[in-house]
A and B are shown apart, each in its own frame.
Chain A
């Protein structure tokens, strides 16, 4: 099932990326000179021990955080050069994010959750309804539109989160341990769904996971981090 997708212009290009945190007087290097390119339409898995810097790298790619040093070029944009508002627009229009904790707003219905990125984009209400319906249909949750997240199973919540991440048809999907809270069968369902969507839309996926077998099953390449450094970059045959 893994696919080899040789890329010409990478979707994401990371060069000498560093991210330091101040912890009291000392400084912690969460990311220490990572250089990596992710091709268009590629499915890249980020693996490594807990605390190795996977989430830090993903958040930098998402434009939620800014690097201490190095550069990230995403879909032709140098993220370091973007203003705070431009970065917000990048997160809205170019990137879709999926989290381990699903992160649906608990007081809103599924429908309203999926509508949020469209609202933030300033989309017209009529078009919003249409896009929300399509996205929910795509993940098989039309019948759950009016439910609140608390009334949904973990798998359904994550499918809802995927619908929300994809409703604006982003070029890049970033997922931080998306199956971490799911049983293994549901995990496979979710990753199948993500992979299908990637093939349909040609979007790029970067997924953090600590489950080696899932990485091997779905990812084209596996990047292994260790203490903030890129330890290995395996291409799956």
Chain B
């Protein structure tokens, strides 16, 4: 028999015991819908968490620091000698360039953060200044920014944290376009004395830098592992670096006698995606530095989500499995009612396989129709869930969240699962129908 004929016959048979078949199909639909709705919450939450963390730059950041020579200290202590360990590699300009050229690396920047004096409208404030790496903006760290972002990576412009802006002016928006003055200390190495190895020290020279206020950040921006969330005044990274702040790591470099050129306490490495973090991290360690990323924490998070999904999936499938019992029941009843019909079909030349396929086709139709309706119903449930959640969040002035999501693969997967479960449930009645003895079925009572 042709496939189309089989489907048409199956559909026509299903139209007969309309109520029963409709109820069975509704059962499948509810099962599929519960599966979709449950998993949509899993997907939504996971998506939400991942985007939040990825936005914050946590998933593709590595913090690189210099190795500490602990062994050297240990020996020195035990044998009373001066430090003797092999010198560790400094985190200098050459290292930064090398890091920038590692495959998979998007950007390398030092964390620039320092206390400084800020003058505005004749008053002075001591506050924390932070450099903002270029990647931070696309990462969404400054979502909700009032005003403008920096016009260039080294522009003499500042973005103020809202709380600090309110300290300067109770109407912060009036600050936009105004200028404040940064007073800072610049370190300048003293010329080396003849015969000695490194710089002899440095002079600290007071300087000022005017900054145009271009933007206000209502929320504390977050980016990268070390972050700059406690900053009050945000400067473009290059400008901040250029200011050559006397950071306290330089002191240590000086003591170690390696104060040549620029040295960094740590460097943030941003990779081209979370997938590049591990290989880059390994390459950095091979270079002789310490590297730290959140990949381990992420892995655990993924495990939690996988278990969460599994749990939701089990609950969802349970409903579908119960619904599949409906198919078994419906087809078994149909088998009882249609014994004679099966006998007639066989007498007219239907092979066992045809009878079996006919019953399976009926199960498949119920599975597909129920599955489709279930996916739509599941989407509706997910939408309701989102609506309800966001209504709740909106009342508390919290941002919109897509708590339940039905990606195409979830819909398709649920449909395929509904079909598979239906076919599985239809298999036994179909087999029974195929094996029915036609003489027995046709006996005239």
Do chains A and B stick together as partners? yes
Q: Which residues does A use to contact B, with CB under 8 Å?
A: 59, 62, 64-65, 84-85, 88-93, 97, 99-101, 103, 105, 107-108, 116-117, 119-122, 164
A106 to chain B, nearest CB (A): 9
Contact across chains for A89 and B347 when beta carbons are under 8 A apart: no
User: What residues of A have a CB within 8 angstroms of the CB of B9 in the complex?
Assistant: 119
A19 to chain B, nearest CB (A): 10
- From A92, A100, A108, give the contact of B348 (CB < 8 A): A92
Whole-angstrom distance between the alpha carbons of A105 and B12 in the complex? Answer: 12
11 extra A-B contacts, CB within 8 A, seeds A89-B349, A91-B346, A100-B444: A62-B347, A64-B347, A65-B438, A88-B346, A88-B351, A92-B350, A103-B340, A107-B16, A116-B345, A117-B349, A120-B1
The answer to the question of B325 belonging to the interface, with a C-beta cut-off of 8 Å to chain A, is no
- From A90, A93, A101, A116, give the contact of B444 (CB < 8 A): A101
Within 8 A of A (CB), among B339-368: 340-341, 343-354
Contact across chains for A84 and B444 when beta carbons are under 8 A apart: no
Contact across chains for B352 and A88 when beta carbons are under 8 A apart: yes
User: What residues of B have a CB within 8 angstroms of the CB of A90 in the complex?
Assistant: 349
- From B2, B347, B349, B353, give the contact of A103 (CB < 8 A): B347
B356 to chain A, nearest CB (A): 12
Contact across chains for B349 and A64 when beta carbons are under 8 A apart: no
B192 to chain A, nearest CB (A): 98
B417 to chain A, nearest CB (A): 32
Contact across chains for B442 and A103 when beta carbons are under 8 A apart: yes
User: What residues of A have a CB within 8 angstroms of the CB of B12 in the complex?
Assistant: 107-108
Whole-angstrom distance between the alpha carbons of A89 and B5 in the complex? Answer: 17
**Are A59 and B439 also in contact (CB < 8 A) when A93-B349, A101-B444 are?**
yes
Mostly, the B contact residues are helix
Contact across chains for A119 and B347 when beta carbons are under 8 A apart: no
User: What residues of B have a CB within 8 angstroms of the CB of A119 in the complex?
Assistant: 1-2, 5, 9
**Are A122 and B352 also in contact (CB < 8 A) when A103-B347, A105-B341 are?**
no
7 interchain residue pairs of minimum CB distance: A92-B349, A88-B351, A91-B349, A85-B351, A120-B349, A117-B348, A119-B5
Whole-angstrom distance between the alpha carbons of A91 and B340 in the complex? Answer: 17
Q: Interface digits, B331-345 against A, CB 8 Å rule (1 contact, 0 not)?
A: 000000000110111
User: What residues of B have a CB within 8 angstroms of the CB of A105 in the complex?
Assistant: 341, 344
Contact across chains for B346 and A116 when beta carbons are under 8 A apart: no
Chain B residue with the shortest CB-CB distance to A120: B349
Chain A residue with the shortest CB-CB distance to B15: A107
User: What residues of A have a CB within 8 angstroms of the CB of B348 in the complex?
Assistant: 91-92, 97, 116-117, 120, 164
Chain A residue with the shortest CB-CB distance to B341: A105
A150 to chain B, nearest CB (A): 14
Within 8 A of A (CB), among B141-180: none
Contact across chains for A88 and B350 when beta carbons are under 8 A apart: yes
A4 to chain B, nearest CB (A): 31
Chain A residue with the shortest CB-CB distance to B441: A64
Chain B residue with the shortest CB-CB distance to A128: B5
User: What residues of A have a CB within 8 angstroms of the CB of B439 in the complex?
Assistant: 59, 64-65
User: What residues of A have a CB within 8 angstroms of the CB of B352 in the complex?
Assistant: 84-85, 88
Within 8 A of A (CB), among B12-61: 12, 16
Contact across chains for A120 and B444 when beta carbons are under 8 A apart: no
Whole-angstrom distance between the alpha carbons of A120 and B9 in the complex? Answer: 11
25 pairs from A and B in contact (CB 8 Å cutoff): A59-B439, A64-B347, A64-B438, A64-B442, A65-B439, A85-B353, A88-B346, A88-B349, A88-B351, A88-B352, A88-B354, A89-B349, A91-B348, A92-B349, A97-B347, A97-B348, A101-B444, A103-B442, A105-B341, A116-B345, A120-B1, A120-B349, A121-B349, A122-B2, A164-B348
User: What residues of A have a CB within 8 angstroms of the CB of B349 in the complex?
Assistant: 88-93, 117, 120-121
- From A64, A93, A108, A164, give the contact of B346 (CB < 8 A): A64
User: What residues of A have a CB within 8 angstroms of the CB of B341 in the complex?
Assistant: 105
Whole-angstrom distance between the alpha carbons of A93 and B349 in the complex? Answer: 8
A42 to chain B, nearest CB (A): 22
B197 to chain A, nearest CB (A): 96
Q: Which of B9, B12, B352, B438 has the most CB of A within 10 A?
A: B438
Q: Interface digits, B426-445 against A, CB 8 Å rule (1 contact, 0 not)?
A: 00000000000011001010
Whole-angstrom distance between the alpha carbons of A77 and B341 in the complex? Answer: 27
Contact across chains for A99 and B444 when beta carbons are under 8 A apart: yes
Chain B residue with the shortest CB-CB distance to A94: B349
Whole-angstrom distance between the alpha carbons of A100 and B444 in the complex? Answer: 8
User: What residues of B have a CB within 8 angstroms of the CB of A108 in the complex?
Assistant: 12
**Are A91 and B347 also in contact (CB < 8 A) when A103-B340, A107-B12 are?**
yes
User: What residues of B have a CB within 8 angstroms of the CB of A101 in the complex?
Assistant: 444
